[in-house]
Amino acid sequence: MLYFAYGSNINLNHFTDYLDTHGVTLDTDLHGQHALLHHFRLRTNYYASTHGAGACNIESSKNECVEGVIITITPSIQDALRIKEGYPHRYEETEVIVHTAGTQEPVQAITYVVTPTHRLNVDLPVTAKYRALILNGAKHFKFSEDYQQSLNIKLQTSASLLPT
């Protein structure tokens, strides 16, 4: 099964640490590939009580695109993801069509979208640690320069609103 990661899960070191902490033993290292989710945009319109700040979400947007990472996952990784994302109450599991570099054919993957009851009308500040996880993942997977710059601005602006 394929999983489209965005937000902090694009940082595979962070994601692997989470899996290890929650008892998911990996047979091999996780590998990801840069992917594009067209007609969506990235938001921070979810309040994550685990770190007392905003967290990423995606929503439909006709002329925008979210850059992320496509990862092949096992059922045990999917179970851990569901716990991490608060499925089904906080984030819904949904199928999306993504495009990966070097392939003409789109692929189907699952991802997580904030449920309507937990989706806010405004973007919230994120923590500096959360911001760094995302920016490091984006750099590692060679997201486009424009997208990395927009991430940096969006997340830096919101991170600066939080006390350190």
Of the ranges 25-29, 91-95, 148-152, which one carries the lowest mean pLDDT score? 25-29
Give me the torsion for CA of 32, 35, 39, 42, rounded to 10°. Answer: 50
- What does the DSSP 8-state code read for residue 7? G
The CATH superfamily of 2-155 is Gamma-glutamyl cyclotransferase-like (3.10.490.10)
Q: Which bin fits 102, alpha (ψ -120 to 50), beta or left (φ > 0)?
A: left
pLDDT at 75: 96
At 158 the pLDDT is 58
Q: At what angle do helices 128-140 and 12-21 cross, to 10 degrees?
A: 120
pTM here?
A: 0.94
For helices 145-159 and 128-140, the axis angle rounded to 10 degrees is: 170
Where are the domains positioned within the chain?
A: 2-155
